[in-house]
Amino acid sequence: MPRALVVSIHDVAPSTREKTERILAHLARHRVELCTLLVVPDYHHEGRSLADPGFRAWLQELQARGHEIVIHGFFHQRARRANEDARAKFVTRIYTADEGEFYDLGYDEARRLIDEARQDFETHGFQTHGFIAPAWLLGAEAERAAVDAGMSYTTTLRTVKDFARDRTFASQSLVYSVRSGWRRTMSLAWNRSLFRRLANNPLLRLGIHPPDVDHPAIWDQITALIDEALSSRQAITYRDWLAAEPALTT
């Protein structure tokens, strides 16, 4: 198959819908007709996303047009815990701003949340093949829970894991951090360099978060990289790429 570009939009929820719609419209103008949408079942405890009729109908329309719906955590939030070591504090508080929900979640709780989310999505007519943890932080017990819950695949920052066929493909995602000026500056330099390094990779991944659209320098680079990538790649969803890719390497 042709070399691929997967654009994923993270943190899709009723409160981020307006920005997500802007992102989708912009992507369509730049020949990205299909995306993987990472939908949070209950974003930051704001309420069940699919309980919102307007949001649900909008997602159903997007799915009908070929966009992929993926379960993205459950609350996308992790409560701080007593006696955390330095590594856990850094990863969950500084690196992820308390959003690494599945970073060290035990099997039983992870399985309960994934099962509950999947039932909610499927009850409302959404096909859910993938489960992707917030910040791509999926601990070993939570990953086992995702497999046992029947999820077909997940992604991490550096890999795509095909549970259904027990395959792992190396492909680090382009992704931006926009919470401060220095993070934005570093992101611009890092992603341009990473894009060049991945030039010959069969799969190029780009993760977009709703706040990215509010930062012109970030958004301009995202647009430029998409335009450049599509000169030799086809925009596709994770689901469709995994179904078509015959030779993933372990």
The tokens describing 193, both together, are 């360099």
104 compared with 57, residue with greater pLDDT = 57
Q: Is residue 81 part of a domain?
A: yes
203-224 residue pLDDT tens: 999 999 999 999 999 999 999 9
pLDDT computed for residue 92 by the predictor? 60
Q: Is residue 250 part of a domain?
A: no
Q: Is residue 168 part of a domain?
A: yes
27-45 residue pLDDT tens: 999 999 999 999 999 999 9
Question: Is residue 131 scored above 80 in pLDDT?
Answer: yes
Q: Is residue 192 part of a domain?
A: yes
Q: Is residue 107 part of a domain?
A: yes
pLDDT computed for residue 248 by the predictor? 46
pLDDT computed for residue 103 by the predictor? 85
How sure is the predictor about 249, in pLDDT bands with cuts at 50, 70 and 90?
very low
Q: Is residue 139 part of a domain?
A: yes
Q: Output the CA–CA distances (angstroms, integers) from residue 202 to 30, 164, 243, in the order listed.
A: 20, 20, 14
Question: Is residue 245 scored above 90 in pLDDT?
Answer: no
Q: How far apart are CA 113 and CA 80, in angstroms?
A: 18
Q: How far apart are CA 230 and CA 30, in angstroms?
A: 9
> Helices in 149-215 by DSSP H: which ranges?
181-197
pLDDT computed for residue 69 by the predictor? 99
Query: Which percentage of the chain shows pLDDT scores above 90?
Result: 83
Domain hosting residue 54, numbered range: 4-244
Question: Among 23-37, 93-107, 157-171, which is the least confidently predicted range?
Answer: 93-107
- What is the tally of structural domains in the chain? 1
pLDDT computed for residue 250 by the predictor? 40
Question: What CATH number is attached to the domain comprising 180?
Answer: 3.20.20.370
2 compared with 174, residue with greater pLDDT = 174
